Amino acid sequence: MNFLSLNQFLRQHFGHRVQKIPLDAGLSCPNRKPGSGKGGCIYCNPQGSGSGAHARGVGIGDQLEQGMKWASRRYKAKAFIAYFQSYSNTFAPLERLEEIYRQAANRPEIVGVAIGTRPDCVDRHVLELIRKIFKGKMVWMEYGLQSASDLTLKMVNRGHTVQDFIDAVRLTREFPFLICAHVIFGLPGETRKQMLDTVGLVRELGLEGIKFHQLYVVKNTLLHRFFEDGEYRPISLDDYASTVAHAIRLLPADTVIQRLTGDPAPGELVAPSWAGRKDLILKRIGAYL
Protein backbone atom coordinates (compact mmCIF):
# COMPACT_ATOMS: atom_id res chain seq x y z
CA MET A 1 0.00 0.00 0.00
CA ASN A 2 1.29 3.44 -0.91
CA PHE A 3 1.53 5.32 2.41
CA LEU A 4 3.97 5.82 5.27
CA SER A 5 3.35 3.15 7.90
CA LEU A 6 4.54 3.38 11.50
CA ASN A 7 7.00 0.54 10.89
CA GLN A 8 8.52 2.40 7.94
CA PHE A 9 8.67 5.67 9.88
CA LEU A 10 10.45 4.05 12.82
CA ARG A 11 12.93 2.30 10.54
CA GLN A 12 13.69 5.60 8.85
CA HIS A 13 14.23 7.32 12.21
CA PHE A 14 16.13 4.62 14.12
CA GLY A 15 17.64 2.61 11.25
CA HIS A 16 16.23 -0.70 12.46
CA ARG A 17 13.06 -2.43 13.59
CA VAL A 18 11.32 -0.87 16.59
CA GLN A 19 8.28 -2.61 18.04
CA LYS A 20 5.43 -1.02 19.96
CA ILE A 21 4.51 -2.79 23.23
CA PRO A 22 0.92 -2.14 24.46
CA LEU A 23 0.57 -1.51 28.21
CA ASP A 24 -2.31 -1.36 30.66
CA ALA A 25 -1.49 0.97 33.55
CA GLY A 26 -4.79 0.46 35.34
CA LEU A 27 -5.93 4.04 34.87
CA SER A 28 -9.46 5.19 34.16
CA CYS A 29 -11.20 7.90 32.16
CA PRO A 30 -12.90 11.16 33.18
CA ASN A 31 -15.87 10.13 31.08
CA ARG A 32 -16.33 6.95 33.15
CA LYS A 33 -15.24 8.21 36.55
CA PRO A 34 -17.56 6.88 39.29
CA GLY A 35 -19.97 9.54 40.42
CA SER A 36 -19.51 11.68 37.33
CA GLY A 37 -22.86 10.60 35.89
CA LYS A 38 -21.36 10.58 32.40
CA GLY A 39 -21.40 6.85 31.75
CA GLY A 40 -18.67 6.79 29.12
CA CYS A 41 -18.78 6.66 25.33
CA ILE A 42 -21.60 4.53 23.96
CA TYR A 43 -19.15 2.18 22.21
CA CYS A 44 -16.66 1.71 25.07
CA ASN A 45 -16.70 -1.50 27.08
CA PRO A 46 -15.48 -1.87 30.70
CA GLN A 47 -11.97 -2.82 29.50
CA GLY A 48 -11.48 0.53 27.78
CA SER A 49 -10.09 -1.07 24.61
CA GLY A 50 -7.26 -2.52 26.65
CA SER A 51 -5.84 -5.92 27.44
CA GLY A 52 -7.09 -6.15 31.02
CA ALA A 53 -3.55 -7.02 32.13
CA HIS A 54 -3.64 -4.68 35.14
CA ALA A 55 -6.90 -6.23 36.37
CA ARG A 56 -5.18 -9.64 36.20
CA GLY A 57 -2.44 -8.34 38.46
CA VAL A 58 0.25 -7.97 35.78
CA GLY A 59 2.38 -4.89 36.45
CA ILE A 60 3.96 -2.56 33.92
CA GLY A 61 7.37 -4.19 34.30
CA ASP A 62 6.03 -7.67 33.64
CA GLN A 63 3.91 -6.45 30.73
CA LEU A 64 7.00 -4.91 29.17
CA GLU A 65 9.08 -8.05 29.73
CA GLN A 66 6.43 -10.29 28.19
CA GLY A 67 5.86 -7.92 25.26
CA MET A 68 9.55 -7.46 24.50
CA LYS A 69 10.24 -11.20 24.63
CA TRP A 70 7.38 -11.86 22.24
CA ALA A 71 8.45 -9.08 19.84
CA SER A 72 12.05 -10.29 19.96
CA ARG A 73 10.99 -13.77 18.91
CA ARG A 74 8.40 -12.65 16.38
CA TYR A 75 10.16 -9.70 14.74
CA LYS A 76 13.77 -9.94 15.98
CA ALA A 77 13.23 -6.49 17.50
CA LYS A 78 15.75 -5.17 19.99
CA ALA A 79 14.31 -1.71 20.54
CA PHE A 80 10.80 -0.85 21.66
CA ILE A 81 8.22 1.86 22.19
CA ALA A 82 6.17 1.64 25.38
CA TYR A 83 2.55 2.20 24.39
CA PHE A 84 0.29 3.22 27.25
CA GLN A 85 -2.94 2.14 25.58
CA SER A 86 -5.83 1.38 27.91
CA TYR A 87 -8.17 4.23 28.87
CA SER A 88 -6.74 7.75 29.45
CA ASN A 89 -3.07 7.55 30.36
CA THR A 90 -2.75 11.10 31.65
CA PHE A 91 -5.75 10.80 33.98
CA ALA A 92 -4.11 10.49 37.39
CA PRO A 93 -2.24 12.65 39.89
CA LEU A 94 1.24 13.65 38.71
CA GLU A 95 2.88 11.47 41.38
CA ARG A 96 1.04 8.40 40.09
CA LEU A 97 1.84 9.23 36.47
CA GLU A 98 5.52 9.66 37.28
CA GLU A 99 5.60 6.28 39.00
CA ILE A 100 3.97 4.64 35.97
CA TYR A 101 6.04 6.36 33.30
CA ARG A 102 9.38 5.74 35.02
CA GLN A 103 8.80 2.00 34.90
CA ALA A 104 9.11 2.28 31.12
CA ALA A 105 11.54 5.18 30.79
CA ASN A 106 14.27 3.60 32.90
CA ARG A 107 14.77 0.66 30.52
CA PRO A 108 17.49 1.10 27.90
CA GLU A 109 15.58 -0.99 25.32
CA ILE A 110 12.75 1.56 25.39
CA VAL A 111 13.60 4.19 22.77
CA GLY A 112 10.24 5.93 22.83
CA VAL A 113 6.80 6.17 24.34
CA ALA A 114 3.27 6.54 22.99
CA ILE A 115 0.66 7.83 25.41
CA GLY A 116 -2.97 7.32 24.52
CA THR A 117 -5.33 9.77 26.17
CA ARG A 118 -8.19 12.22 25.70
CA PRO A 119 -7.76 15.82 24.53
CA ASP A 120 -9.57 17.07 27.63
CA CYS A 121 -7.20 15.15 29.87
CA VAL A 122 -3.86 16.95 29.38
CA ASP A 123 -2.41 20.15 30.74
CA ARG A 124 0.97 21.82 30.84
CA HIS A 125 2.00 20.07 34.06
CA VAL A 126 1.39 16.62 32.59
CA LEU A 127 3.26 17.44 29.38
CA GLU A 128 6.18 18.90 31.35
CA LEU A 129 6.34 15.65 33.33
CA ILE A 130 6.38 13.57 30.15
CA ARG A 131 9.14 15.74 28.67
CA LYS A 132 11.24 15.37 31.83
CA ILE A 133 10.85 11.62 32.19
CA PHE A 134 11.25 10.72 28.53
CA LYS A 135 14.01 13.22 27.71
CA GLY A 136 16.01 12.01 24.72
CA LYS A 137 13.33 9.50 23.68
CA MET A 138 10.70 9.71 20.96
CA VAL A 139 7.32 10.78 22.36
CA TRP A 140 4.00 10.26 20.59
CA MET A 141 0.92 11.82 22.16
CA GLU A 142 -2.14 9.97 20.87
CA TYR A 143 -5.37 11.92 21.25
CA GLY A 144 -8.82 10.49 20.65
CA LEU A 145 -10.58 12.91 18.33
CA GLN A 146 -13.00 10.37 16.76
CA SER A 147 -15.00 13.04 14.92
CA ALA A 148 -14.69 16.71 13.97
CA SER A 149 -18.44 17.14 14.53
CA ASP A 150 -19.54 18.35 17.96
CA LEU A 151 -23.01 16.97 17.21
CA THR A 152 -21.56 13.50 16.69
CA LEU A 153 -19.35 13.75 19.77
CA LYS A 154 -22.41 14.62 21.83
CA MET A 155 -24.42 11.81 20.27
CA VAL A 156 -21.85 9.19 21.25
CA ASN A 157 -21.45 10.77 24.70
CA ARG A 158 -17.79 11.46 24.06
CA GLY A 159 -17.61 14.10 26.77
CA HIS A 160 -15.32 16.58 25.00
CA THR A 161 -15.57 19.00 22.10
CA VAL A 162 -13.67 19.53 18.87
CA GLN A 163 -12.22 22.70 20.38
CA ASP A 164 -10.85 20.64 23.28
CA PHE A 165 -8.92 18.61 20.71
CA ILE A 166 -7.62 21.71 18.93
CA ASP A 167 -6.56 23.23 22.26
CA ALA A 168 -4.72 20.03 23.24
CA VAL A 169 -2.87 20.01 19.93
CA ARG A 170 -1.86 23.67 20.28
CA LEU A 171 -0.57 23.08 23.81
CA THR A 172 1.32 19.94 22.78
CA ARG A 173 3.00 21.88 19.97
CA GLU A 174 4.96 23.71 22.66
CA PHE A 175 6.77 20.43 23.40
CA PRO A 176 9.09 18.25 21.27
CA PHE A 177 6.40 15.63 20.78
CA LEU A 178 4.74 13.96 17.80
CA ILE A 179 0.93 13.89 17.69
CA CYS A 180 -1.36 11.13 16.44
CA ALA A 181 -5.15 11.48 16.16
CA HIS A 182 -7.56 8.57 16.56
CA VAL A 183 -10.60 8.82 14.28
CA ILE A 184 -13.61 6.53 13.93
CA PHE A 185 -15.55 5.94 10.73
CA GLY A 186 -19.14 4.73 10.94
CA LEU A 187 -20.27 6.75 13.95
CA PRO A 188 -24.08 7.05 14.26
CA GLY A 189 -25.57 9.46 11.74
CA GLU A 190 -22.27 10.47 10.15
CA THR A 191 -22.03 10.85 6.40
CA ARG A 192 -18.97 10.11 4.29
CA LYS A 193 -18.39 13.87 4.01
CA GLN A 194 -18.34 14.25 7.78
CA MET A 195 -15.83 11.41 8.12
CA LEU A 196 -13.57 13.05 5.57
CA ASP A 197 -14.05 16.43 7.25
CA THR A 198 -12.53 14.86 10.37
CA VAL A 199 -9.50 13.86 8.32
CA GLY A 200 -9.45 17.39 6.92
CA LEU A 201 -9.05 18.76 10.45
CA VAL A 202 -6.13 16.41 11.06
CA ARG A 203 -4.52 17.68 7.86
CA GLU A 204 -5.24 21.32 8.74
CA LEU A 205 -3.57 20.93 12.14
CA GLY A 206 -0.52 19.31 10.55
CA LEU A 207 -0.52 16.25 12.78
CA GLU A 208 2.25 13.73 12.27
CA GLY A 209 0.08 10.62 12.56
CA ILE A 210 -3.41 9.20 12.38
CA LYS A 211 -5.16 5.97 13.36
CA PHE A 212 -8.30 4.82 11.57
CA HIS A 213 -10.87 2.71 13.39
CA GLN A 214 -14.18 1.31 12.21
CA LEU A 215 -17.03 1.55 14.70
CA TYR A 216 -17.98 -1.97 15.70
CA VAL A 217 -20.46 -3.13 18.30
CA VAL A 218 -19.07 -4.95 21.33
CA LYS A 219 -20.83 -6.60 24.24
CA ASN A 220 -21.79 -4.70 27.38
CA THR A 221 -22.04 -1.29 25.71
CA LEU A 222 -24.89 1.11 25.11
CA LEU A 223 -24.20 0.78 21.38
CA HIS A 224 -24.95 -2.94 21.71
CA ARG A 225 -28.42 -2.09 22.97
CA PHE A 226 -28.95 0.43 20.17
CA PHE A 227 -27.93 -2.22 17.64
CA GLU A 228 -30.30 -4.82 19.08
CA ASP A 229 -33.14 -2.26 19.05
CA GLY A 230 -32.45 -1.47 15.40
CA GLU A 231 -31.33 2.09 16.18
CA TYR A 232 -27.82 1.63 14.82
CA ARG A 233 -26.60 0.02 11.61
CA PRO A 234 -22.82 -0.51 11.24
CA ILE A 235 -20.90 0.84 8.28
CA SER A 236 -20.34 -1.67 5.46
CA LEU A 237 -16.92 -3.06 4.62
CA ASP A 238 -16.88 -1.38 1.22
CA ASP A 239 -17.92 1.98 2.62
CA TYR A 240 -15.28 1.76 5.34
CA ALA A 241 -12.47 0.65 3.03
CA SER A 242 -13.22 3.22 0.35
CA THR A 243 -13.46 6.03 2.92
CA VAL A 244 -10.12 5.09 4.49
CA ALA A 245 -8.51 4.97 1.04
CA HIS A 246 -9.93 8.40 0.20
CA ALA A 247 -8.80 9.76 3.56
CA ILE A 248 -5.23 8.59 3.00
CA ARG A 249 -5.15 10.42 -0.32
CA LEU A 250 -6.28 13.62 1.44
CA LEU A 251 -3.34 13.55 3.84
CA PRO A 252 0.24 14.67 3.16
CA ALA A 253 2.54 11.86 2.04
CA ASP A 254 4.63 12.15 5.22
CA THR A 255 1.66 11.51 7.53
CA VAL A 256 2.31 8.34 9.51
CA ILE A 257 -0.66 6.00 9.05
CA GLN A 258 -0.40 4.13 12.32
CA ARG A 259 -3.51 1.99 11.99
CA LEU A 260 -6.00 1.13 9.26
CA THR A 261 -8.53 -0.84 11.28
CA GLY A 262 -9.49 -1.62 14.85
CA ASP A 263 -9.06 -5.06 16.39
CA PRO A 264 -11.95 -6.40 18.48
CA ALA A 265 -10.82 -8.49 21.44
CA PRO A 266 -11.66 -12.21 21.21
CA GLY A 267 -15.27 -12.90 22.13
CA GLU A 268 -16.41 -9.26 22.38
CA LEU A 269 -17.55 -8.54 18.80
CA VAL A 270 -21.28 -8.37 18.09
CA ALA A 271 -21.34 -6.66 14.67
CA PRO A 272 -20.40 -6.22 11.90
CA SER A 273 -18.87 -9.67 11.36
CA TRP A 274 -16.27 -8.32 8.94
CA ALA A 275 -14.76 -6.17 11.70
CA GLY A 276 -12.98 -9.25 13.00
CA ARG A 277 -11.36 -10.02 9.62
CA LYS A 278 -8.29 -7.81 9.58
CA ASP A 279 -6.84 -9.60 6.57
CA LEU A 280 -10.02 -8.96 4.59
CA ILE A 281 -10.19 -5.30 5.62
CA LEU A 282 -6.58 -4.60 4.67
CA LYS A 283 -7.03 -6.34 1.32
CA ARG A 284 -10.13 -4.28 0.56
CA ILE A 285 -8.46 -0.98 1.54
CA GLY A 286 -5.49 -1.94 -0.62
CA ALA A 287 -7.80 -2.57 -3.58
CA TYR A 288 -9.31 0.91 -3.24
CA LEU A 289 -5.89 2.50 -2.93
Domain ranges of the chain: 4-288
pLDDT digits (tens, 9 = 90+) for 224-278: 999 999 999 999 999 999 999 999 999 999 999 999 999 998 899 999 999 999 9
Please report, for residues 80, 95, 132, 195, the alpha-carbon distance to residue 167 in angstroms, rounded to integers and kept in the order given.
Answer: 30, 24, 22, 21
- 150 pLDDT above the threshold of 80: yes
pLDDT of residue 47: 59
With a cut of 90, say whether residue 1 has pLDDT above it: no
Q: Give the C-alpha separation, 209 to 229, whole Å.
A: 36
Torsion on CA atoms 75, 178, 155, 87, rounded to nearest 10: 50
Using CB atoms within 10 Å of the CB of residue 231, give its burial: 0 to 12 exposed, 13 to 18 middle, 19+ buried: exposed
Residue-wise pLDDT tens digits, 5-49: 999 999 999 999 999 999 999 998 888 765 554 678 999 876 555
For residue 34, the model assigns a pLDDT of 56
Least Cα distance to 207 among 157, 241, 258, 159 occurs for 258
Residue type, 12: Q
Q: How far is CA 23 from the centre of its chain?
A: 12
The distance of Cα 239 from the centroid of its chain, to the nearest Å, equals 21
Three-class DSSP category at 180: strand
- The model's confidence at residue 169, banded by pLDDT at 50, 70 and 90, is very high
| pLDDT, tens digit, 9 for 90 and up, residues 174-213 | 999 999 999 999 999 999 999 999 999 999 999 999 999 9
pLDDT of residue 45: 79
Identify the pLDDT of residue 87: 86
Are the beta carbons of 195 and 166 closer than 8 angstroms? no
Cα distance between residue 256 and residue 58, in whole Å? 31
Q: Is the pTM of this model over 0.85?
A: yes
CATH number of 4-288: 3.30.750.200
Q: Are 180 and 207 in contact (CB under 8 A)?
A: yes
- Interval 63-115: pLDDT, tens: 999 999 999 999 999 999 999 998 899 999 999 999 999 999 989 999 999 99
Q: What is the pLDDT of residue 56?
A: 80
Q: State the angle between helix axes of 192-205 and 237-250 in degrees (0 to 180), rounded to the nearest 10.
A: 30
